[in-house]
């Protein structure tokens, strides 16, 4: 989709999304736009369906109702061949990397590349090594199995696999969960750098306030079965909603804002 130069291109459009599991309604009438080249942080309380939203957009969860378009393709009722091409235009990194335990890191990264017909195995291996290097892993990590890696290294390996086909969009599910502060900050820096150098659009599910502050261009808050509010991180400070207020005005949030503005945020109660 294109428009005037000052109008951002929508690469993900969700309208009227509904997801339910038995009597439990997770999403009802959820709308969301994601713009090309941005890093969008998805936050919300437990049970608000952050990962369910990610899986719905990527076709891993069939919603009960609604419309989802990604890069102009209707995910739910579009042409099957057009839908299949999206697997080459996006990459997904699940929590803890979700690597195949019986494959080496290199073999894991090669999995998406095997879909390219006629690709020489030597070239495929070299491309995998390139992605492994891009995410900051040492060359020798390619010969290691997931169980031999630290949690942070597994996450980087998962990111390398998500980037294997040079996607336009990357979906990240809690990428810094379980990492120590230094490792999480390093991973944030990596994501920001790759998004800029590769022109990636990043859809990022997270609960980490430091990540929201460090790399996200916008934030979308899931609450009351929908996207309650979206905007810049500081826009969240003015939202009059119990969960949003507690999350963005709590001690950890004040610490994040105070680091960003040493003079204070003016948000003390």
* Residue 57 forms part of a structural domain: no
- 15 has pLDDT over 80: yes
How confident is the model at residue 260, as a pLDDT? Answer: 57
pLDDT at 243 over 80: yes
Residue 77 has pLDDT above 70, yes or no: yes
Q: In this predicted structure, what is the pLDDT of residue 258?
A: 63
Residue 111 lies in a domain: yes
In a domain, 234, yes or no: no
pLDDT bin (cut points 50, 70, 90) of residue 198 is very high
Question: Six-digit token pair at 146?
Answer: 């997931």
Q: What pLDDT shows up at residue 268?
A: 35
Give mean pLDDT, residues 9-28: 96
- Predicted local distance difference test score (pLDDT) of residue 7: 80
Q: pLDDT > 70: what percent of the chain?
A: 90
How sure is the predictor about 265, in pLDDT bands with cuts at 50, 70 and 90? very low
pLDDT of residue 234: 87
37-60 confidence digits (pLDDT tens): 999 999 999 999 999 999 999 999
What's the pLDDT score for residue 269? Answer: 36
pLDDT at residue 163, as a whole number: 97
Report if residue 254 sits inside a domain. no
Averaged pLDDT, 18-28: 95
Which structural domain, as residue segments, surrounds residue 109?
Answer: 100-166
Task: State the average pLDDT over residues 89-108.
Answer: 91
Please give the pLDDT value at position 1.
46
Q: Are 203 and 169 in contact (CB under 8 A)?
A: yes
pTM: 0.90
Q: Residue 223: inside a domain, yes or no?
A: no
Looking at the domain assignment, is residue 141 inside a domain?
A: yes
User: In this structure, is residue 136 part of a structural domain?
Assistant: yes
User: Is 138 among the domain residues?
Assistant: yes
Pairwise CA distance, residues 219 & 70, whole Å: 19
Q: Is the pLDDT of residue 266 over 70?
A: no
Question: What total number of domains does the chain contain?
Answer: 1
């Amino acid at each position: 989709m294109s428009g005037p130069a000052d109008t951002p291109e929508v690469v993900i459009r969700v309208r009227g999304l509904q997801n339910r599991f038995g009597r439990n309604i997770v999403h009802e009438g959820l709308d969301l736009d994601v713009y090309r080249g941005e890093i969008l942080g998805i936050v919300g309380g437990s049970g608000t369906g952050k990962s369910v939203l990610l899986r719905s957009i990527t076709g891993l969860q069939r919603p009960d109702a609604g419309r989802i378009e990604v890069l102009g393709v209707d995910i739910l009722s579009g042409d099957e061949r057009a839908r299949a091409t999206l697997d080459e235009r996006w990459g997904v990194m699940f929590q803890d990397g979700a690597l195949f335990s019986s494959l080496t890191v290199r073999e894991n990264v090669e999995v998406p590349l095997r879909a390219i017909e006629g690709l020489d195995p030597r070239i495929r291996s070299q491309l995998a090594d390139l992605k492994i290097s891009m995410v900051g892993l040492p060359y020798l990590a390619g010969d290691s199995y997931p169980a031999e890696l630290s949690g942070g290294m597994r996450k980087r390996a998962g990111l390398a696999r998500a980037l294997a086909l040079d996607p336009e969009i990357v979906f990240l599910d809690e990428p810094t969960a379980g990492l120590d502060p230094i490792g999480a900050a390093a991973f944030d820096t990596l994501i920001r750098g790759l998004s800029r150098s590769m022109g990636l659009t990043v859809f990022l599910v997270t609960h980490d306030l430091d990540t929201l502050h460090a790399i996200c261009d916008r934030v979308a808050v899931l609450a009351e079965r929908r996207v309650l509010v979206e905007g810049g991180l500081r826009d969240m400070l003015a939202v009059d909603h119990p969960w949003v207020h507690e999350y963005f005005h709590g001690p950890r949030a004040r610490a994040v804002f105070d680091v960003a503005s040493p003079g204070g945020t003016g948000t003390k109660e």
